[in-house]
Amino acid sequence: MLASPPMHRRRYLLLLAGLVACSGARAPEPSCPPTMPAPLATPSAAPTPNAPAAAAPPVTQARIPGGTITVAVAPTRAYVERTDGAQLLNCDLRIKNGTGVAWKLVEIEVSVHDSRDALAWRRLVTDGGVSPAISTVPNRELPEGAELLLLNPVSELALDLELARVHFTLTFVATNGDERLVVGADVRPIQYEDHAELRFPLAGRLIVWSGHDYLAHHRRWDYVFTPIRSFGFVSNAGRYAYDLVPVDATGAMHAGHPEDNKSWFGFGAPVLAPAVGKVVAVRDDHPDNREFDVDKLADDLMLMYGNHVVIDHGHGEHSLFAHLQQKSVTVKVGDVVKAGDRVGAIGASGSANFPHLHYQLQDGPNARAEGLPSYFHDFVRHRGARAIPVKRGTIGSGDLIEASTAKRR
């Protein structure tokens, strides 16, 4: 049995659950007392129109006599995920304040340029109005010496836009004064095309309890936040993750007390390999107690996932199945599996608030990987009484879906 963390550590456990369970809370960083700013020089953030698509986004900076504010797009390969209704650009901006002055973010401008570098679309998030749009963006305070992670708040873009270059312009105001500082950053998004032909890892009807949209906790994992970073996290492996929960015909997830794992319809349901691949990681001994030992997390970041299986599909694509039932894993490292092979069962191990399958596609075998968009093949999307067959597509938070039985063994 894993030891339950003491109460003073449970706050971090709940915070860490934001990656793979249902918490998205972020405690505030300590503030530094503001100082008087030096005179400002407004920098230029000139783009590089002909940079290759796969190149790392540039780090841009605004310099004043006391230092610089730097902005870098993360991850370095920013992928576009195409859904039925939009293109999703789930990238972050890492902002470091080396000016010796405290600042506050007051405006974000996002500009989309086509392959000729012509402006195609622009959106502003400002501090104007009774309930300003900028107030929907957390982590806007930038104390001196601090670093913060800004999630792209304009991540949903029209399908007919050509995303050759996206430019972010950030406007800061000095906390102790009215000086303004403007800094920009470019990203050249990459349209992601998957290699593995993924099938659903579960049979029967299920709900996407949480996906990776802007409001989903998987998307809002802050790996720059000091308590998270101190464990050794450097990325968001769950950037495109899903929490999948089997449901009955009415959409209910359980019958009985929710604290009882056995009251959940999906508890113990088979988890299936989504595509051919080689098993590269397995853990099977965690109890289904919805906990993990946070004191050991720095030594093994995968503890968050509880019992898990990782499958290498080749071409840098890895499937991770998390929170599996104790002693349910049917594969071992080195096994080769194909789509439909059983690898385990739904459980409630690790950072799970209830029994469910956490699934994500990522570019490496461990928790320091980055997430990848996943496109599933041959499933049905239920819209009330309508059943809509999908040959290939994405799923999102709140979707009711089911694997096509004709394609399942």
Give the residue among 304, 406, 409, 299 at the shortest CA–CA distance from 351.
Answer: 304
Give the residue among 52, 101, 100 at the shortest CA–CA distance from 77.
Answer: 52
Q: pLDDT tens digits for 300-334?
A: 999 999 999 999 999 999 999 999 999 999 999 99
Q: pLDDT tens digits for 257-268?
A: 999 999 999 999
Name which residue leads in pLDDT, 35 or 242. 242
Tell me what pLDDT residue 44 has. Answer: 34
Surface-to-core class of residue 62, CB atoms within 10 Å of its CB (0-12 exposed, 13-18 middle, 19+ buried): buried
Give the residue among 172, 140, 174, 133 at the shortest CA–CA distance from 154.
Answer: 133
**Single-letter amino acid, residue 78:** A
Query: What is the overall mean pLDDT for the chain?
Result: 86
Q: What does 369-380 look like in DSSP terms, one character per residue?
A: S-EE---EEEEE
- Average pLDDT of 105-123? 98
Tell me what pLDDT residue 404 has. Answer: 81
pTM score of the predicted model: 0.84
Weakest-pLDDT range from 50-54, 202-206, 327-331? 50-54
- Average pLDDT of 181-193? 95
Handedness of CA 225, 229, 234, 236 (dihedral sign): negative
Handedness of CA 347, 304, 72, 133 (dihedral sign): positive
Distances (CA, A) of 47 to 44, 73, 240: 9, 13, 28
SS (H, E, C) 201-254: CCCCEEEEEECCCCCCCCCCCCCCCHHHHCCCCCCCCCCCCEEEEECCCCCCCE
Query: CB neighbours of 365 closer than 8 A, spacing ≥ 6?
Result: 280, 281, 310, 312, 318
Please check the confidence at residue 298 and state whether its pLDDT lies above 70.
Answer: yes
379 confidence band (pLDDT: 50, 70, 90): very high
Weakest-pLDDT range from 17-31, 97-111, 229-243? 17-31
Tell me what pLDDT residue 177 has. Answer: 83
- Average pLDDT of 176-201? 93
- Average pLDDT of 188-192? 96
- Average pLDDT of 222-238? 96
- Average pLDDT of 53-67? 59
State percent of the chain over pLDDT 90. 80
Tell me what pLDDT residue 59 has. Answer: 66
Tell me what pLDDT residue 57 has. Answer: 54
Please check the confidence at residue 148 and state whether its pLDDT lies above 50.
Answer: yes
Please check the confidence at residue 210 and state whether its pLDDT lies above 80.
Answer: yes
Name which residue leads in pLDDT, 57 or 332. 332
Give the residue among 311, 233, 208 at the shortest CA–CA distance from 12.
Answer: 233
Distances (CA, A) of 69 to 36, 41, 100, 404: 16, 12, 10, 51
- Average pLDDT of 99-120? 96
Tell me what pLDDT residue 178 has. Answer: 83
Weakest-pLDDT range from 104-118, 170-184, 330-344, 350-364? 170-184
> Which domains, ranges and CATH numbers included, belong to the chain?
54-188 (2.60.40), 205-407 (2.70.70.10)
Weakest-pLDDT range from 30-44, 235-249, 264-278? 30-44
Query: CB neighbours of 319 closer than 8 A, spacing ≥ 6?
Result: 196, 198, 201, 273, 274, 275, 277, 310, 311, 313, 359, 360, 361
Give the residue among 23, 35, 327, 47 at the shortest CA–CA distance from 184.
Answer: 47
Tell me what pLDDT residue 64 has. Answer: 65
Q: pLDDT tens digits for 396-409?
A: 999 999 998 644 44
Phi and psi (nearest 5°) for 341?
-70, 140
Please check the confidence at residue 11 and state whether its pLDDT lies above 80.
Answer: no
- Average pLDDT of 135-149? 94
Q: pLDDT tens digits for 348-369?
A: 999 999 999 999 999 999 999 9
Please check the confidence at residue 228 and state whether its pLDDT lies above 60.
Answer: yes
